[in-house]
Amino acid sequence: MNLSHGRPILAIPGPSMIPDRVLQAMHIPSPNIYEGELIDITYSISADLCRLARTEGRVGMYIGNGHAAWEASLVNTLAPGDRALVISTGRFALGWAEIARKLGVEVEILDFGTDRAADPVVLEARLRRADAAGIKAVLTTQTDTASSATNDIPALRAAIDAAGHDALFLVDGIASFGCEPFEMDAWGADVLVASCQKGLMTPAGMSFVFAGTRALEARKGLERVSPYFDWAPRFAPELFYQNFSGTPPTHHLFGLRTALDMIFEEGVEQVWARHAVLASAVWAAVDVWSETSQIACNIADPAQRSRAVTTVRAGQDHGARLRAWCEQKAGLTLGIGLGLDGAATPPGEGLFRIGHMGHLNAPSILGTIGTIDAGLKALGLAHGGGALRAASDVIAEALAA
Ligand SMILES: *Cc1c(COP(=O)(O)O)cnc(C)c1O
């Protein structure tokens, strides 16, 4: 018996499900890249990305994935020999740190492990030490996609300020942008990094670096910047091609324009609220499964959990078995356990991740939870019963008149 032959659900934390409207917007012949609609669309996208990031600053758009934007953010703010403090709450800040290291930046990791958010008190104490004086930038993720921990960005900014430190504050919002609240200017982030294939519901291939005033100043002080990644011409293009240092990502731009239309039609606050409710429904289900088993959310404190992805510990090899069952038998693809192989955490096989970012609604999340529940039953894996009901209660309560 196999029940996977309908429309599949991709519940991995990026790429996320692409709306039909976005796909249809991309289903066009190659446009004129010298004049006409594409030019207008490109500038409207820059303006709307800044609106979504809540910044008066600039955005540079790159043809590349999140790693490209990681690199772009670094080459425009730091020079070889500069020092950066990287706040790690999982796997992704370490990836960013690795790129910084390869660019010659002297990196120090402030490691909070893989099961909680960063502690602003620890950050403040580190920045108060005399040897912190030379640190030029503090890097962190808003949401770490491996652990599903979400950092309190305003609290980390406040810690930098409380220490009287003038480091630039660079935030990786790749997993959270368009899913979780973010207010770049009000929160005092100097740089925000994002990409299009998660909350922005567009096929992977475009990424973004937002820069505020202090970051723009930092760029001016650099002797040499990689010409392709240099954000200066992208921020103030004299000719259209400078927006992308060459041919624009034509079809991505049409797709992204539509995705942004969908976000603003729904309302940004409403998009955030939808993610919050759907995440709560996932957590309610995991709580029920955990009642008679070792299943648990990787992040114990709900206040520190992402509203875009949930990492679940299932124990032994149960994560891998459940993922295989859901995909092969039922048409649901879950995320693999990623990079949490330290002694204190189960190996990847014991984990699975539920991506709940972007284009999803009540039936997509109830379908995901119900399918996982069926998988636990079919595989004979211990779990508390009634998870789907708990999730439906969360949704009913949120929508109660
Ligand atoms: C997905 C992700 C990345 C990497 O993005 P790619 O497009 O795969 O290069 C970086 N940081 C975070 C937080 C992510 O979720």
- If you take atom 6 of ligand 1, which residue's CA is the nearest one? 66
DSSP sequence for 110-151: EE--SSS---HHHHHHHHHSGGGTTEEEEEEESB-TTT-BB-
Q: Which residues of 313-326 are buried (b: 16+ CB within 10 A; e: fewer)?
A: bbbeebbbbbbebb
- Residue 340 maps to which CATH number? 3.90.1150.10
According to DSSP, residue 257 is labeled H
Within this chain, do residues 308 and 214 fall inside the same structural domain, yes or no? Answer: no
| Co-location of 357 and 379 in the same domain | yes
Q: What was the pLDDT predicted at 301?
A: 98
| Burial classification of residue 221, based on how many CB atoms lie within 10 Å of its CB (0-12 exposed, 13-18 middle, 19 or more buried) | exposed
Q: Is the predicted pLDDT of residue 340 greater than 90, yes or no?
A: no
Full-prediction pTM beyond 0.95? yes
Average pLDDT over residues 253-272: 98
Pair 156, 245 in one domain: yes
* Number of structural domains the chain divides into: 2
For Cα atoms 91, 193, 142, give the angle at the middle one, nearest 5 degrees. 50
Do residues 131 and 115 lie in contact, with contact meaning Cβ atoms separated by under 8 Å? no
Looking at the fold, whether 130 and 162 belong to one and the same domain comes out as: yes
Residue 1 in domain: no
Distance (Å) from CA 392 to ligand 1 centroid? 31
Cα–Cα–Cα angle for 66, 69, 70, nearest 5°? Answer: 85
Domain that holds residue 320: 9-16+268-400
Element (H, E) at 331: none
Same-domain check for residues 214 and 86: yes
pLDDT in tens, 19-52: 999 999 999 999 999 999 999 999 999 999 999 9
Looking at the structure, tell me whether residues 251 and 314 fall in a common domain. Answer: no
Specify the pLDDT at position 339: 66
- C-alpha 32/C-alpha 74 separation (Å) is 33
User: How far is ligand 1, taken at its centre, from the CA of residue 204, in Å?
Assistant: 10
Give the tens place of pLDDT for each residue, 72-125. Answer: 999 999 999 999 999 999 999 999 999 999 999 999 999 999 999 999 999 999
Q: How far apart are the first and last CA of the chain?
A: 41
pLDDT score for 342: 56
Is 188 in the same domain as 329?
Answer: no
Q: Is the pLDDT of residue 346 over 60?
A: no
* CA dist., res. 352 & res. 368, Å (int): 13
Q: Is 288 left (phi over 0), alpha (psi -120 to 50) or beta?
A: alpha
Do residues 277 and 259 share a domain? no
Quick one: pLDDT at residue 345? Answer: 53
Examine residue 21 and state whether it is found in any structural domain, yes or no.
no
Tell whether 73 is covered by a domain. Answer: yes
Domain boundary among 238, 264, 290: 264
pLDDT at position 261 is 98
The pLDDT tens digits for 147-156 are 999 999 999 9
Ligand 1 within 6 A of CB of 172: yes
| Chosen domain end from 264, 279, 308 | 264
Check if 14 has its Cβ closer than 6 Å to any atom of ligand 1.
Answer: yes
Q: Is the CB of 195 under 6 A from ligand 1?
A: yes
Report which ligand 1 atom has the smallest distance to the Cα of 70.
10
Q: How many CB atoms lie under 10 A from the CB of residue 238?
A: 7
- 159 and 80 in one domain? yes
pLDDT beyond 90 at 341:
no
Shared domain for 236 and 297, answered yes or no, is no
Residues 6+ apart with CB under 8 A from 164: 128
Q: Is 16 in the pocket of ligand 1 (CB under 6 A)?
A: no
Give the pLDDT confidence score for residue 219 in this predicted structure: 98
The set of residues, in sequence order, having a beta carbon less than 8 Å from that of 363 and lying 6+ positions away, is none
Domain ends where: 227, 244, 264?
Answer: 264
Q: Per-residue pLDDT averaged across 252-265, rounded?
A: 98
Q: Are residues 235 and 340 in the same domain?
A: no
pLDDT at 343: 47
Our mutation pick for probing the ligand 1 site, out of 92, 193, 306, counting the most ligand atoms within 8 A of Cβ, is: 92
- Per DSSP, the three-state class of 44 is helix
The residue whose two tokens read 């324009």 is: 257
Nearest residue to 285 via CA among 395, 192, 157, 203: 395
Helix/strand/coil for 108:
strand
CATH number at residue 251: 3.40.640.10
Measured CA to CA in angstroms, residue 221 lies from 76, 79, 82, 215, 224 at distances of 10, 9, 12, 10, 9
With the most atoms of ligand 1 within 8 angstroms of its CB, the residue from 144, 145, 191 to mutate is 145
Asked if residue 25 is part of any domain, the answer here is no
Domain shared by 55 and 71, yes or no: yes
Instruction: Provide the percentage of residues in the chain whose pLDDT is more than 90.
Output: 97
